[in-house]
Amino acid sequence: MRAIGLLLIVPVIMWCTQSVLLLRAGLPLRLRINASDLPRHLKRYNRVSTYVAFALVLIGYPVWRGQSPLAYYAAFFPLGRAPWGMLEGFAAAVLYLTLLYLAWLASDNIQFRVRHEPGRLVKRLVGVPFTALLVAFVEELLFRAVLLADLMESMNPWVAVVLGAAIFAGAHYVRSVKRYWTIGGHLGLGLLLCVAFACTHSLWLPMGLHAAGIVMLLGTRPFIRYDGPAWLVGASIFPYAGVAGIIGLALLTFDVFVRYGGP
């Protein structure tokens, strides 16, 4: 359970940094982590503090175990056929999500429409693969290689999977957000990624699944307008939080379990 204790350091660092920056800007302190009204030049420091907190956890956990960080994380990237899991996960997630978008399009729940000028559109799309890989890599290290691996050492694997999915989902709401009802989608996504890790004991498959979801989300956002009800198609910031998206995540989780076996 050491990982949970280390992860709790992250919101503490975020809140302390936010408080210092709010005082620097002459703004009142607040309990909620929400620094949207900070001046732009101070927001950079706020983001950097979050990255530093993640780095402290990622380095501190293996050191706490008496291992070097490089050796610890390398164990979750086995060679041989295992790396193909990343490609398989990416392809499976893209397939499921493409079918979901096609179903929404056929039922007039979304419309395809270019929403940006060509120059801005190209700039946004070029960065999508790099953002997807970076976010998937960091979050999988943090929530699977640290959190879930630690939980699986001290409790039943299925209990660890459920708890790991719940903590992963909750972490997305540490900061103040516009919508909280989307947590169902984050729980479904967390369960998918935790099952993928528990079944393979590596990060290749969950990284592929995770990166594909980000690519599809960011890559389609400039072209899609959501007309359907939120309970069905989710929110534009997280379209897989609606009923259709959660069902798709559940089917993909079942597919992963059948293909790769249980933990």
32 band by pLDDT with thresholds 50, 70 and 90? confident
How does residue 231 score in pLDDT terms, banded at 50, 70 and 90? confident
**Whole-number CA gyration radius for the chain:** 19
What's the pLDDT band for 229 if we cut at 50, 70, 90? Answer: confident
pLDDT given at position 86: 95
Check if the beta carbon of residue 208 is closer than 8 Å to that of residue 95. Answer: no
Q: Residue 119's pLDDT is what?
A: 67
DSSP 241: G
Q: Higher pLDDT residue, 144 or 80?
A: 144
Q: How many CA atoms lie within 13 A of 62 on its CB side?
A: 16
CA 263/CA 260 separation, integer angstroms: 9
The model's confidence at residue 55, banded by pLDDT at 50, 70 and 90, is very high
d(CA 82, CA 105): 35
Looking at every residue in the chain, the average pLDDT score rounds to 89
Assign 180 a pLDDT band (cuts: 50, 70, 90): confident
Lowest mean pLDDT among 40-54, 61-75, 118-132, 240-254: 118-132
What is the average per-residue pLDDT within 52-62?
94
Element (H, E) at 94: helix 84-106
Q: Average pLDDT in the 145-154 region?
A: 95
CB–CB of 138/54 below 8 Å?
yes
Q: Cβ atoms within 10 A of the Cβ of 194, count?
A: 30
pTM of the predicted model, to two decimals?
A: 0.91
**Range 96-118 burial, b when 16+ CB lie within 10 A, else e:** bbeebbeebeeeebbeeeeeeee
Contacts of range 111-117, beta carbons closer than 8 Å, 24 or more positions apart: 111/224, 111/225, 111/227, 112/223, 112/224, 113/223, 113/224, 113/225, 114/222, 114/223, 115/222, 115/223, 115/225, 116/222
CA–CA distances in Å: residue 137 to residues 26, 58, 87, 158: 37, 12, 14, 23
Reported as a single tens digit per residue, the pLDDT across 73-131 is 999 999 988 899 999 999 999 999 999 888 888 888 888 777 667 767 777 778 888 99
pLDDT at 179 > cutoff 90: no
Q: Is 258 helix (H, G, I), strand (E, B) or coil?
A: helix
DSSP 183-228: HHHHHHHHHHHHHHHHHHSSSHHHHHHHHHHHHHHHHHGGGEEE-S
pLDDT at 116: 65
Judge whether residue 262 has pLDDT over 70: no
pLDDT of residue 263: 58
Distance CA 221, CA 95 (A): 17
CA distance 107 to 212: 24
DSSP H or E stretch at residue 100: helix 84-106
pLDDT of residue 151: 96
**At residue 252, does pLDDT exceed 70?**
yes
In whole angstroms, what is the distance from residue 195 CA to residue 263 CA?
Answer: 8
150, 61 Cβ separation under 8 angstroms: yes
Give the model confidence (pLDDT) of 212-228 as tens digits: 999 998 888 878 888 88
**What percentage of the chain has pLDDT greater than the value 70?**
97
